[in-house]
Structure 1
Amino acid sequence: MPIEPHPGTPRAPRTDARRNRDRVLEVAAEAVAEQGTLASLRDIARRAGVGLGTLYRHFPNRDALLEALLHQRFTNLAERADVLATTAPPERALTEWLYEFTLGAGAYQGLPATLMATLNDPDSPLHADCLTMRQAGGRLLEAAQESGRIRPDVAPVDLFALANALSWIADQAPTLTERREHLFRLVVDGLRPRTDRD
């Protein structure tokens, strides 16, 4: 006689449910790369060969789907901040991390605006990962400020907003993408104390 699981024991997802979830994520990655973060969820479900209800069972809203797509990217950026903090001088650690963040925020059309929206939305599935990443960047900022190489009036949210603004510019005006490094250097220059810029 088969042993029934204890009522409080969570069941492992069925094989077909896991397969459906993986297929939705695979198709969503392609659709978001093609169409941006506002890609049609109905179209993603159709292309994945599942019903819209199946998609929503796995990902109750757009942010939940984006969180699943972006979780590893955010985790990598937070870990990268920790590595840079121990291997590079504070200002260089901050600027290298900020540049990598700027590139990552521009990975998908519409992503900069989505990331900014998470700032004041703790209910968003993206909020926790974004917060962890911003805190990692904040630690680099604090170290660079303590070294005297970055203005003391710059807050972590300023850094996040500036990096997203750079990504948003490239997102909205692809012709400026080739100017991204120059624009980035202008932003970094503005972060330095005035005596370092004179």
Structure 2
Amino acid sequence: MTAQRADARRNYSRILAAAEQEVAAHGVNASLEQIARTVGVGSATVRRHFPTRVALLQAVFRERIEALCDSARELTEAPDARAALLEWLVAVADYAIEARGLAAALVLDEPVERGHPNACTAKLAEAGDPLLERAVQAGTVAPGLTTADLLTLIVGILLATEHGPDQADTVRRLFGVVVAGLSPCG
């Protein structure tokens, strides 16, 4: 039984490594069958480890999502609450530009009947909440926004610009428009 567990762990690691390469090449449309062929296992083995495409994408992006969450926690103590929030949101956007498929993964949810929100999005929103709360309390961001709202805006910008030239510049310019809209009126 221990050998199977070790073999299952090895398969998981090999599948995840192949999935990272396939997602880097093909984004959210990465082929589970190609991942299985690359690793030399059946597609049922891939699906046993990753029962849904969302589960696979969450695993592929898990480490970077955790790093972005850690960054949000570190920035919570920054003296300028608005600047800290914006720095973190730009870091999320920058990573999504370089990590093909992340923006699309952030909008994918498990079917409603399962009742599970996308773990990546939920983790990012939870990590960013204190940054947003501090900025709202400081009066530098309009009240009524949620971190999920801000992530949705970023993802929308990313998806709308992913096939255009100079995506990074376009994302930063459009994000600047969004930032101007974050300021309280009056």
The structure with the largest alpha-carbon Rg is 1
**Aligned counterpart for 1:41 among listed residues 32, 55, 65:** 32
Structure 2 length normalisation: TM-score? 0.87
The structure 1 residue matched to 2:102, chosen from 84, 96, 111, is 111
Aligned residues: 186
Contact 1:63 1:124 in 2 (8 A): no
Paired AA for residue 179 in structure 1: T
Structure 1: unaligned runs, 5 residues or longer: 6-10
Segments of 4+ moved more than 6 angstroms: none
SS of residue paired to 1:194: coil
Do 1:27 and 1:48's aligned partners in 2 also have CA atoms closer than 8 Å? Answer: yes
1:23 alignment counterpart: 14
Partner of 1:8: none
Find out whether 1:179 has 2:170 as its counterpart.
Answer: yes
- What is the one-letter code of the residue matched to 1:55? V
CA distance in structure 1 between the aligned counterparts of 2:89 and 2:53, rounded to whole angstroms: 26
Contact 1:64 1:126 in 2 (8 A): no
Match of 1:151 in 2: 142
Quick one: structure 1 residues 146 and 110, their matched pair in 2 at CA, closer, same or farther if it must change by over 3 Å?
A: same
Determine the C-alpha separation between the residues in 1 that align with 2:27 and 2:148.
24
Unmatched 5+ residue regions in structure 2?
Answer: none
In the alignment, the residues of structure 2 paired with residue 153 and residue 70 of structure 1 have an alpha-carbon distance, to the nearest angstrom, of 29
What secondary structure, in the 3-state scheme, does the structure 1 residue paired with 2:143 have?
coil
Say which of 141, 144, 151 aligns to 1:160. Answer: 151
Distance 1:122 1:95 in 2: 35
The answer to whether the 8 Å contact 2:84/2:131 transfers is yes
Q: Which position in structure 2 is the counterpart of 1:55? A: 46
Cross-structure match for 1:65:
56
2:127 pairs with 1:130: no
Structure 1 residue 121 displacement after superposition: 4.7
Q: How far is the alpha carbon of 1:60 from its aligned partner?
A: 1.3
CA distance in 1, matches of 2:6, 2:100: 33
**SS at the partner of 2:82?**
helix
Within the candidate set 75, 86, 101, 1:95 is matched to 86
Deviation of 1:177 after TM superposition, in Å, equals: 3.4
The separation in 2 between residues aligned to 1:91 and 1:98, in whole angstroms, is 11
